[in-house]
Chain A
Amino acid sequence: MRKVIAVGALVSALAQVPTHAADLGSLLTNVDFSLTGYGTAGTVVTSTDSAVFIRGNEASGATKSFAENVDSNLGVQATARFNSWLAMTVQAEDSRDALTGVVPWAYVKLDPLDNLSFKLGRVEMPIFAISDSLDVGYANVWLRPPQEVYALSNLKELNGVEFSYSLPLAGTHLTLTGYAGDTVIWTQRYGQMNGNDTRGGELKWDTEWVTLRAGWAQAHVDGNILIENIPVGPIPTPLGPVTAYVPYNYYVEDVYSFEGVGALVDHDNIIAQAEWVKRYSRNYPGTVNATGWYVLAGYRFGAVAPYVSYARTDKYHGADYTAAGTLSDDQSTTAVGVRWDAFKSADIKLQAEHVNPQGSSGVSFAEVSSPLGLTPATPSGSVNVFSVTVDFIF
């Protein structure tokens, strides 16, 4: 899984430079370089052609025709560890996500003490119980995270600083993480906005088989959002009349917040997970505010782990709510699936879901054909979704 390359020989030339480079040389000759990767190859099909089933902010998805892009991804990570307190990590991903996520991680990590670390650069914020390894299918039991919870966060990677302090506590670990920096807010309906002065934190308590966590994040949002493309014309041109589309932008300023609690259990062969999250806005509650939760239970029979889950999101239908303007809407999903550790570094997963968007566009559905950008769409009734993936690491 881990290829350690002797960088020593490569950089020993540097060490030969006798004067000021001596320290640098000794730092570089001991570099432990590793190259690792992960990926998922999968396909999804649904019971409807009235809307496409998407994951997160994908630009296209599945209908009665199979779609491979929904869950498939590929990531490569390079880590250089210089000594016990200094390391660098860069990860590149060919992502499902059309806009961001190309470089989810790129940071320098400092460990001044065994229990204390700082990351400077680009990091994934710990918004959820499983935020950091969300894209690594192999690391998780489920085929895909419940969208009723995991599609609610619109915050992307943070460019800034993160610290993490872990306190040993009678055989358990209490970990406090805090972060600050800038990010972008990406929504399917409105596109991208700036997330300035973003900060947040997480408190996590780990025992041998239970993890409990609570997290919070806040961002000052501003930017011009695209409300719609207004048709103008037809305008006479030498080639005949043409209809032009003029983007109608609207300046938005807001304070966006996200909070959540979660519990993960892995005891003997029992797997259980539950999370509750809340998204809210100071200025646009009817557009933004929503809650989401899920419960998942599974059991490991050797290499085969079947699981069931139920997830639900409720949109706040306040005064400024409109079905056409909301970031997401009501939806619930019941899923059954199985993870089979069929190979040494790869698993096979199957999942069947019954998704009920309760007469709205929910969180998982978009227009089948939307030439002017992806728009949420309401499928006709509940939708059954079948997925199969192979997750691997190398």
Chain B
Amino acid sequence: MKRIAFIIMVSQLLLATAARAGDVVVIGNAASPPLTKEQVADLYLGKSQGMKLIDQPAAAPIKAAFYQEVSGHDLSQVKATWSRLIFTGKATPPKELPDSAAVKKAVAADPKTIGYIERSAVDGSVKVILDLK
């Protein structure tokens, strides 16, 4: 009985995570081409450059969901990866903005900028370039 309760609890936890991850979309300017999950992962883990990246604060649940969904890495792994890149000057880390509204504003203003927000926060000012369903 206890075991069944445990399994239910774990599966609920997994479902909760999945549901949250399913709500994340990567956005770009109206002129931005669509990107694949691999391209977004490479950009946000510093493996490729060429876009200005916007990040969300660590306290926002969407941040952990986004990195988990695109790269399978948790935030401490992401942090360790970036500490390798930052302290060698190989790449410039994503710029952190306080919330999804600020991310949208930055992305709308610059065709070279991408970010991620909740699906519910999408409006006409930005374009969904990758849906993390």
Bound together, the chains give a CA A206 to CA B84 distance in angstroms of: 15
State how many angstroms separate the Cβ of B30 from the closest Cβ of chain A. 21
Residues in B with CB closer than 8 Å to A208 are: 38, 41
**Sorted from nearest, which 6 A-B pairs have the closest CB atoms?**
A132-B88, A114-B50, A89-B89, A341-B76, A139-B84, A133-B84
Determine if A138 and B80 form an interchain contact, defined as CB atoms under 8 angstroms apart: yes
| B125 CB within 8 Å of chain A | no
Name B's A-contacting residues (CB within 8 A): 38, 41-42, 47-50, 58, 72, 74, 76-77, 79-84, 86-90, 92-93, 95-96, 112
7 contacts between A and B (CB under 8 A): A32-B95, A77-B86, A77-B87, A109-B89, A135-B87, A208-B41, A393-B83
Contact with B along A83-94 (1 / 0, CB 8 A): 010010101000
| A36 CB within 8 Å of chain B | yes
| A42 CB within 8 Å of chain B | no
| Given A268-B72, A303-B76, A341-B76, A87 contacting B84 (CB threshold 8 A) | no
Determine if A132 and B79 form an interchain contact, defined as CB atoms under 8 angstroms apart: no
Determine if A36 and B87 form an interchain contact, defined as CB atoms under 8 angstroms apart: yes
CB closest residue in chain B, given A111: B49
Determine if B92 and A79 form an interchain contact, defined as CB atoms under 8 angstroms apart: yes
Contact with B along A19-45 (1 / 0, CB 8 A): 000000000000010001010000000
Determine if A105 and B89 form an interchain contact, defined as CB atoms under 8 angstroms apart: yes
Interface core residue of B50, B79, B80 (most chain A CB under 10 Å) = B80
CB closest residue in chain B, given A130: B84
Interface core residue of A2, A32, A135, A345 (most chain B CB under 10 Å) = A2
| Given A133-B84, A208-B38, A79 contacting B76 (CB threshold 8 A) | no
Bound together, the chains give a CA A166 to CA B84 distance in angstroms of: 17
Bound together, the chains give a CA A133 to CA B95 distance in angstroms of: 22
Residues in B with CB closer than 8 Å to A300 are: 77
Cβ contact of B96, chosen from A2, A89, A109, A114, cutoff 8 A: A2
| A4 CB within 8 Å of chain B | yes
| Given A38-B83, A133-B87, A2 contacting B49 (CB threshold 8 A) | no
Determine if B90 and A138 form an interchain contact, defined as CB atoms under 8 angstroms apart: no
Determine if B76 and A393 form an interchain contact, defined as CB atoms under 8 angstroms apart: no
| Given A111-B49, A303-B76, A4 contacting B95 (CB threshold 8 A) | yes
Cβ contact of B83, chosen from A105, A119, A136, A168, cutoff 8 A: A136
| A1 CB within 8 Å of chain B | yes
State how many angstroms separate the Cβ of B94 from the closest Cβ of chain A. 9
CB closest residue in chain A, given B42: A173
Determine if B83 and A166 form an interchain contact, defined as CB atoms under 8 angstroms apart: no
| Given A2-B93, A87-B89, A173 contacting B83 (CB threshold 8 A) | no
Residues in A with CB closer than 8 Å to B41 are: 208
| Given A208-B38, A345-B79, A114 contacting B89 (CB threshold 8 A) | no
Determine if B92 and A36 form an interchain contact, defined as CB atoms under 8 angstroms apart: no
Bound together, the chains give a CA A105 to CA B85 distance in angstroms of: 13
State how many angstroms separate the Cβ of A38 from the closest Cβ of chain B. 6
| Given A81-B92, A87-B89, A139 contacting B80 (CB threshold 8 A) | yes
Residues in A with CB closer than 8 Å to B50 are: 114
Residues in B with CB closer than 8 Å to A206 are: 47
State how many angstroms separate the Cβ of B12 from the closest Cβ of chain A. 18
Determine if B86 and A168 form an interchain contact, defined as CB atoms under 8 angstroms apart: no
Bound together, the chains give a CA A268 to CA B88 distance in angstroms of: 25
Residues in A with CB closer than 8 Å to B93 are: 1-2
CB closest residue in chain A, given B80: A139
Determine if A166 and B48 form an interchain contact, defined as CB atoms under 8 angstroms apart: yes
CB closest residue in chain A, given B95: A4
Q: Which of A135-171 contact B (CB under 8 A)?
A: 135-136, 138-140, 166, 168, 171
Residues in A with CB closer than 8 Å to B49 are: 111, 114-115
Bound together, the chains give a CA A347 to CA B83 distance in angstroms of: 13
Residues in B with CB closer than 8 Å to A171 are: 38
Interface core residue of B92, B93, B112 (most chain A CB under 10 Å) = B92
| Given A38-B83, A168-B48, A105 contacting B88 (CB threshold 8 A) | yes
State how many angstroms separate the Cβ of B111 from the closest Cβ of chain A. 13
| A75 CB within 8 Å of chain B | yes
Bound together, the chains give a CA A138 to CA B81 distance in angstroms of: 9
